[in-house]
Structure 1
């Protein structure tokens, strides 16, 4: 009887604790919902205001609707982020806003890709063309930070701070040695000598082909980087290259001597200059508004008297089957969105905004099919972000026109499959063996507890070859080129945006807004409004559906720190199923 009561008591206690935890979460959700009502109120921008542009936050495709950003809920996204499109719209509005006198640009280590930074930087240059000033200040400028800050009228560095200008480097991670020690064999089936997504599992260093394309890719990024700084700082790219190559910027005074900055100042001195620019007495505080709040104050494009619409459909993240999310391209969700836009007579043109390294070949083909059908009815223009490679290129290759940034990464037309063989690990290291029966020679063709037979490898290779043939056929049809030509520039090779235009994989370099204007022009409409799809997933729904994954990710990051990226890449590689059309490498650029 004592044991009975002990178990009953434990059960009751467990229920009470669970209810308590549920109550805490419920209260937090209610608080979040209530606080979000205040957060959604438009900000009142008063005269003589300084627009505070914090570019250290994550700059992503679209500003998320995260009602729980400021709440201590594990699994919610507590970090600030903003969509690059909201930054661009805000800077365009601020250019003619009489209440905004100048911009205070604060950036140390931006969380954004190179093409995204170029979009933002060009928007800053456009703001300056209206006659208003931009003041940039930081205690430390990483190279990405300096690329953005160099667009300012004045660039200031803390007298004891640091500025990086050293050139770009790329590091690839290889797992072959670890797999060998574990007794795991990665069985590789691929098409394309440049399709090197599988190299980390079969080599311990870059192949010659991979080194060739990484060198070209990195060189293209670096050229765009130097050209941007050269134009605004009036320093030749040759001199910038020399400064970086010889690591001449070692002290703050070096940055001043080589004219990379306009002065070494403390923050109070910079604030005094901002007060002067905005016409405020030095004894008073600056009236400022953050870019995040200013974006919320912009009038929504809801002029329903304008009937014609251009739909912007965001395809962001890895490509896979199913619904996906705001960070993952789900073939069901995106293809359904394209289909609805095609059937909506008020939508006269579509801009497919792609920022993806690829993923499932089948899911990519599902989305491609909807683009083909839509192009028969109304114009489809593709706009590429930081990366639109492999499957990311596949889904857009049928568009009427493709816009890239000079430093967009694209191409990677190739296919691969990886089938792990755990036999050595299971048999020899863990002492686990398998036995069984089957009704056909290939009934267990994808077994991971033994190596592939020659017949099985041939079957899978034929499947990979067939998908590659379909891939280059889709591209050839969309780009109006021969299959043999696409094959010659394919093979998994990655191209920088400027080169993609030269070889015909893209039509022109241009911004996101350029793509929208081109879509309207092709649709022959002059007056229109833009609408964005798919709808951003409600944060409460996302927390309820994916809260467990977010909690696991949160604790993994806390525990692993800088090593989380290693864990994430290995887990991602192991979890891939089916034939993949994916960018051939994931590189950390420093």
Structure 2
């Protein structure tokens, strides 16, 4: 017995000692993280510092940092919010001499790149320098860096300048081979999100709309690069036809697309010289994440809330941890109600970046925005996309601002339900049998196809949803329903074209939307507060999981495939009726 008690006590002591060590190590890590973050305090920008922007990876709208970032487990990912905020701070901060862009393989939609480029162009009005360097300029990175005062390419580097293209993947034949048929009803000639499951090539209508908006985006890119580089648009088009990535660096230099061929240390030496330093070791770089908080520190004047709504639109919190980036109706609606009741909030800017999602959830969010707009100015700022269900939401606002290259519209809906009876019966030898009390008790069962009556019922249901969608747009945009039907039909428009047909009110960025909100609220002095409020690092550690880190890793590795994989992962949780954009161009 004595020996037993000694064993128990020694085991307990061992457990206590191990737990104590874990607590001590964890505490030290927290203190170290706090100290390291404190050392990056935005208030302590040293004189002759240079803002360094690493333009690489998947460009997200807001920071997706994991709490593990504080402990060195960093996932290299740029985010638009920090980059834009830091550029604005750098322009006004006398301790910042200029900007150095280290351009890598960035993957982003055109509107995000256009917003960064516009911020750089505005920054240069201060007289400060912008130097970019790359071993390889992807077309997206070059588009941004073409606004720099000096563009440097590695002597054996490449520059991609090839124009824009897009392709869709079609699964109809694959599904047929495995015995699955997608049962689809839709409204809208151009509503082509269902085509991959029902066709083997693009429809004429889809080819028409994709060609138009990709051409429109490419024309915008050429026009802006032409203005910055003083190269005629026709010549830029000719250079794209030559596929510059396979040309020698000297030929690229001769084309005037760049200013200099040099290795990275030589590029840094040039930055050091511009910053008054004799050696590159003396360079003082500051990151966007350290500068961005300065922009949020202003508290003068009235508050304008900037609420970010990004990702696929869903009804409930079906996504947690991995693939959680979504506009969740059950979360955003209470947030909108809080903003409505908050007396300090004088106006709200909804920053929307979404290709749509659940038609039901879109209607619920529309109602929340409409309720908010009845009491306060509500302005929508469209990012890369605000299409289909996201446009449904936007139509409740009093004013809409979009980038010229934003993809919007896509006013149409569809329902898609798989019939797996062929897979189960013919491929796997599985049969179903059952009983029911009424004619359609087993409606939406995936073990059998719809009959003619059921398909007609579902089409009627989708038709009603489309009618409500177009009614909301007509009311919100103050145009006739007949006019809406002419520009709807599921067709995707760029922001530039959307302005011509009254789907948006102005072309511009988030700052322009905030300025409109301030004017409508009668504010001469104002400050922005961004929502949902980001959790501080210790909150992330306490109530988040390792999945956050995994999610960030997947974003980095999957690139532009991430949204598609996320959608497939949660396909069984989606509402039956969807309002989704068919195709999204990504500039690499």
Under a length normalisation based on structure 1, what TM-score does the superposition of the two structures give?
Answer: 0.89
Deviations 1:78-99 (A, max 9, x none): 4133442332222122123222
Q: What's 1:289 paired with?
A: 286
Q: Could you tell me which residue of structure 1 aligns to residue 352 of structure 2?
A: 354
**Distance of aligned partners of 1:72 and 1:525 in 2 relative to their CA distance in 1, 3 Å threshold:** closer
Structure-2 change in CA distance of 1:538 and 1:28 (3 Å): farther
| Alignment partners' CA distance in 1, 2:228 and 2:129 | 14
Structure 1 residue 182: Cα displacement: 0.7
Give the alignment partner of residue 322 of structure 1, picking from 316, 324, 327.
316
- Select the residue among 484, 487, 494 that pairs with 2:485: 487
- 1:155 is aligned to 151
Matches within 5 A, 1:20-35: 33-35=30-32
Q: Structure 1's 556 and 47: CA in aligned 2 closer, same or farther, altered over 3 A?
A: closer
- Secondary structure, counterpart of 1:107 in structure 2: strand
Q: CA deviation at 1:540?
A: 7.1
1:135 aligns with 2:158: no
Select the residue among 390, 398, 401 that pairs with 2:399.
Answer: 401
Equivalent residue for 2:497?
499
Question: C-alpha offsets along residues 95-118 of structure 1, whole Å, 9 cap, x if unaligned?
Answer: 232222121111122233211111
Of 163, 168, 171, which aligns to 1:175? 171
Q: Give the 3 Å change call, closer, same or farther, for CA 549–419 of structure 1 in structure 2.
A: farther
1:60 is aligned to 60
- 1:415 maps to what in 2? 413
SS at match of 1:213: helix
Paired residue secondary structure (1:439): coil
Structure 1 residues 32 and 393, CA, compared in 2 at 3 Å: closer, same or farther?
farther
Matched, 1:84 2:80: yes
What pairs up with 1:30-429 in 2 under 5 angstroms? 33-41=30-38, 42-43=41-42, 44-64=44-64, 66-69=66-69, 71=71, 78-248=74-244, 250-282=247-279, 285-296=282-293, 298=294, 300-301=296-297, 303=299, 306=300, 308-323=302-317, 327-429=325-427
- Give the structure 2 partner of residue 4 of structure 1: none
Determine whether 1:457 maps to 2:455. Answer: yes
Is the Cα–Cα contact under 8 Å of residues 99 and 129 in structure 2 kept in the other structure? yes
Q: Any idea what SS the aligned residue of 2:189 has?
A: coil
In 2, Cα distance between equivalents of 1:546 and 1:192: 41
User: How far apart are residue 285 of structure 1 and its match?
Assistant: 2.7
Q: In structure 2, do the counterparts of structure 1 residues 116 and 24 end up closer, same or farther at CA, with 3 Å as the change threshold?
A: farther
Secondary structure at the counterpart of residue 519 of structure 1: helix
Task: Choose 81-90 or 129-138, whichever is displaced more.
Answer: 81-90
Q: In 1, distance between residues paired with 2:190 and 2:29?
A: 48
SS in 1 for 2:470: helix
Give the Cα separation in 1 of the matches to 2:141 and 2:286. 21
Moved more, 224-233 or 26-35: 26-35
Secondary structure at the residue paired with 1:110? strand
Matches of 2:469 and 2:20 in 1, distance apart? 52
2:75 and 2:553 in contact (8 A); partners too: no
CA contact (8 A) 1:386 1:409 kept: yes
Q: Give structure 1 stretches of 5+ with no counterpart.
A: 1-18
User: Within 1, Cα distance between the matches of 2:575 and 2:94?
Assistant: 55
Aligned residues of 1:33 and 1:67 also touching (Cα < 8 A):
no
> 1:16 maps to what in 2?
none
Aligned-pair distance for 1:570? 4.5
* Offset, 1:300: 4.0
Residue deviations 1:165-205 (CA, integer Å, cap 9, x gap): 11111121111111011100100011111111111100111
Contact map agreement 1:63 1:83 (CA 8 A) in 2: yes
Measured after TM superposition, the shift of residue 38 of structure 1 is 2.6
The 1:23–1:461 alpha-carbon spacing in structure 2 relative to 1, beyond 3 Å, is farther
Whether the 8 Å CA contact 1:54–1:291 is kept in 2: the answer is no
- What is the alpha-carbon root mean square deviation over aligned residues? 3.0
Give yes or no for contact 1:410–1:500 (8 Å, CA) kept in 2. Answer: yes
* Mapped partners of 1:22, 1:463: distance in 2: 59
Deviations 1:216-248 (A, max 9, x none): 111111111111111100001111011101325
1:292, distance to aligned residue in structure 2 (A): 2.6
Q: Report the count of equivalent residues.
A: 566
Query: For residues 266 and 470 of structure 1, what CA distance do their matches in structure 2 show?
Result: 59
Aligned to 1:14: none
CA distance in 2, matches of 1:381, 1:110: 30
Contact 2:86 2:291 in 1 (8 A): yes
Contact 2:417 2:576 in 1 (8 A): no
Instruction: Identify if the C-alpha distance between structure 1 residues 417 and 111 changes in structure 2 by more than 3 Å, giving closer, same or farther.
Output: same
| Residue-by-residue CA offset, 1:119-154 (whole Å, 9 max, x unaligned) | 111111111100111111111100001011111111
**Mapped contact 1:69–1:80 kept (Cα < 8 A):** no
When residues 419 and 102 of structure 1 are mapped into structure 2, their CA distance, relative to the original with a 3 A threshold, is same
